[in-house]
């Protein structure tokens, strides 16, 4: 079928990117009657293909990307102290990375905005109360299931839209050990339906949430792309934006995009919103350099691409002499924020009478702990890789499967200027543009925080009687990024030290806004998507005020 990818003749707003931020901005502005065009670099995926994608994903011998990532289109460099595997966990396409995300949606704490973790995190130019109503709107938009049982969560004005999911069986195993140590467990807010909501059915337990939800119970941004289209928005797929053009007054006049046959088009609009994520947004701004903006668009501060931040994974696990029912649930149902605002508090290990405290008084990142519902090999993986058949295979599965248990957690990086997204002019993509170069390093605080997180986790596992066989941290290895790209167009009130203002508009370009985790000033240690959604809705309101 021939797809029309020519520019819309009239547009109030042009949005670059159809992930959660772009989709929410498009849905809100189109619903308000504005003419909206969305330009997305990746394809439009057919929902009917999801069962086949699920089957491909669970085969251990499959090395094919379920969502088509890789190749010249997605090339990148990673020249920093730490290698950054960018394509492991991103999606280009309608829906963006929410097509394969885990679906955990927590609000940042007030201390994240205040910069008051007793460390080197600066304050944001907005506070928690500024985002509080947008957080509530975002939870309704995504359909968040949750319970108000978290004593460490920030204040809220009402219940979650949907009831939370009950604790898993393995959560119940953790509960007694945590109680002995004085560690609080509580539920996890999830962007997946615990009951029918917004035209989508409840979770039916496929367990393949990452990388694909075949039922659609887990939210993905194609939901709001479809809402935007129903309200009249034009959404073009497979049209990567090559650069932004500006007029003599320094305002953006057009987004220049390429169609699959290589033809370039210009989409004009009154307002432009960048929502392509924390790597592609700074890359596009740097690619849009001109005589008027020799260092890249919106980059008078020199900070476009700077302060790239991530969350690092900490974990520990092993086996226990009883069934754990791991891999029965594809998402997390219990976690612990007790060590978020106070990561240095002591843990009393009853098993050996030891008090576990940080190794030094040096600052730590907030710590978020998770009780994993997936540890050890899955029965599908064991069966497909086995050399046995029939009853012999069944007996082997019974012996090998079901005793694994594990914890995980996130710690955030402080903003470091040397961590950045730059252009690698020695390597080009399929349109001849320099690819993004990720220059990434950790720093001492990250390593201390990872070590602290794994110490707490091992205390809990020891109390539970787990034979610990692995740890993921600075000493045990196995740690890596959570693929939460933050900070590369940071928000601030001072144009000399930031890229966008508190209304998400760039300081340098009056009709250019950014809706993304790229505007984060600090990383915190919470999964960022709910904050991305809240900021996107805030951005949409400010754009609407100017139209």
pLDDT digits (tens, 9 = 90+) for 120-147: 789 999 999 999 999 999 999 999 999 9
pLDDT digits (tens, 9 = 90+) for 514-524: 999 999 999 99
Query: What average pLDDT does this structure show over 264-290?
Result: 98
Pairwise CA distance, residues 55 & 62, whole Å: 10
Q: Are 448 and 367 in contact (CB under 8 A)?
A: no
Question: pLDDT class for 351, splitting at 50, 70, 90?
Answer: low
Pairwise CA distance, residues 386 & 390, whole Å: 11
> Residue 16 pLDDT > 70, yes or no?
yes
pLDDT at site 500: 98
pLDDT at site 117: 55
Phi-psi region of 433 (alpha: psi -120 to 50; beta: other; left: phi over 0): beta
Question: pLDDT class for 380, splitting at 50, 70, 90?
Answer: confident
> Residue 62 pLDDT > 70, yes or no?
no
Two tokens at 523? 């990383």
Q: Which residue has tokens 């953790």?
A: 174
pLDDT at site 341: 94
- Identify the three-state secondary structure at position 255: strand
Fold of the domain built from segment(s) 13-546: FAD/NAD(P)-binding domain (3.50.50)
Q: Where are the domains of the chain?
A: 13-546
pLDDT digits (tens, 9 = 90+) for 442-483: 999 999 999 999 999 999 999 999 999 999 988 767 899 999
Pairwise CA distance, residues 241 & 257, whole Å: 4
pLDDT digits (tens, 9 = 90+) for 239-259: 999 999 999 999 999 999 999
pLDDT digits (tens, 9 = 90+) for 291-303: 999 999 999 999 9
What's the mean pLDDT when you consider all of the chain? 94
Question: pLDDT class for 38, splitting at 50, 70, 90?
Answer: very high
Query: What average pLDDT does this structure show over 148-164?
Result: 96
pTM summary value? 0.96
Beta bridge partners of 370: 335, 408
pLDDT at site 356: 80
Pairwise CA distance, residues 257 & 264, whole Å: 5
List of long-range contacts for 79-82, beta carbons under 8 Å, 24+ apart: 79/424, 79/437, 79/438, 79/439, 80/419, 80/438, 80/439, 80/440, 80/441, 81/440, 81/441, 81/442, 82/440, 82/441, 82/442
pLDDT digits (tens, 9 = 90+) for 225-238: 999 999 999 999 99
């Amino acid at each position: 079928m021939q797809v029309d990818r020519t520019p819309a003749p009239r547009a109030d707003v042009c949005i670059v990117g159809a992930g959660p931020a772009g989709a929410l901005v498009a849905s809100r502005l189109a619903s308000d009657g504005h003419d909206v065009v969305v330009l997305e670099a990746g394809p439009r995926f057919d929902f009917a293909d999801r069962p086949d994608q699920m089957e491909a994903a669970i085969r251990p011998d499959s090395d094919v990307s379920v969502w088509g990532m890789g190749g010249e289109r997605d090339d990148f460099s990673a020249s920093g102290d730490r290698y950054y595997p960018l394509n492991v966990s991103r999606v280009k396409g309608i829906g963006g990375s929410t097509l394969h995300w885990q679906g955990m949606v927590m609000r940042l704490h007030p201390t994240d905005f205040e910069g008051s973790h007793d460390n080197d995190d600066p304050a944001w130019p907005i506070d928690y109360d500024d985002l509080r109503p947008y957080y509530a709107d975002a939870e309704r938009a995504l359909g968040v299931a949750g319970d108000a049982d978290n004593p460490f969560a920030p204040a809220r004005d009402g219940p979650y839209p949907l009831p939370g999911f009950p604790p898993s069986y393995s959560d119940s195993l953790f509960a007694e050990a945590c109680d002995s140590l004085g560690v609080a467990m509580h539920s996890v807010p999830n962007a997946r339906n615990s009951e029918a909501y917004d035209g989508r059915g409840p979770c039916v337990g496929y367990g393949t949430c990452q990388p694909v939800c075949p039922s659609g119970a887990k939210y993905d941004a194609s939901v709001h792309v479809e809402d935007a289209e129903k309200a009249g928005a034009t959404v073009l797929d497979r049209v990567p934006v090559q650069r932004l053009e500006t007029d003599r007054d320094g305002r953006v006049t057009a987004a220049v995009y390429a169609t699959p046959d290589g033809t370039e088009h210009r989409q004009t609009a009154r307002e432009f919103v960048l929502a392509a994520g924390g790597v592609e947004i700074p890359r596009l701004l740097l690619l849009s350099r001109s005589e008027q903006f020799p260092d890249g668009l919106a980059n008078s501060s020199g900070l476009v691409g700077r302060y790239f931040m991530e969350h690092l994974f900490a974990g520990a696990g092993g086996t226990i002499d009883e069934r754990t029912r791991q891999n029965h649930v594809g998402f997390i149902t219990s976690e612990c924020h007790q060590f978020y605002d106070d990561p240095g508090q002591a843990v009393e290990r009853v098993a050996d009478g030891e008090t576990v405290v940080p190794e030094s008084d040096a600052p730590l990142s907030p710590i978020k702990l998770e009780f994993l519902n997936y540890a050890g090999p899955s029965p599908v993986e064991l069966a497909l890789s086995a050399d046995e058949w029939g009853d012999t295979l069944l007996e082997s599965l019974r012996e090998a499967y079901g005793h694994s248990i594990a914890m995980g957690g996130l710690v955030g990086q402080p903003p470091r200027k040397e961590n950045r997204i730059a252009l690698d002019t020695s390597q080009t993509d399929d349109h001849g543009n320099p690819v993004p170069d990720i220059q990434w390093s950790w720093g001492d605080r990250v390593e201390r925080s990872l070590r602290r997180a794994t110490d707490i986790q091992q205390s809990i596992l020891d109390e539970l009687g787990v034979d610990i066989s692995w740890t993921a941290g600075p000493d045990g290895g196995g740690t890596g990024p959570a693929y939460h790209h933050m900070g590369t167009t940071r928000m601030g009130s001072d144009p000399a030290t930031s890229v966008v203002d508190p209304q998400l508009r760039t300081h340098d370009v009056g009709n250019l806004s950014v809706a993304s985790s790229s505007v984060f000033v600090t990383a915190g240690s919470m999964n960022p998507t709910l904050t991305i959604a809240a900021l996107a809705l805030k951005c949409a309101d400010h754009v609407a005020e100017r139209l």
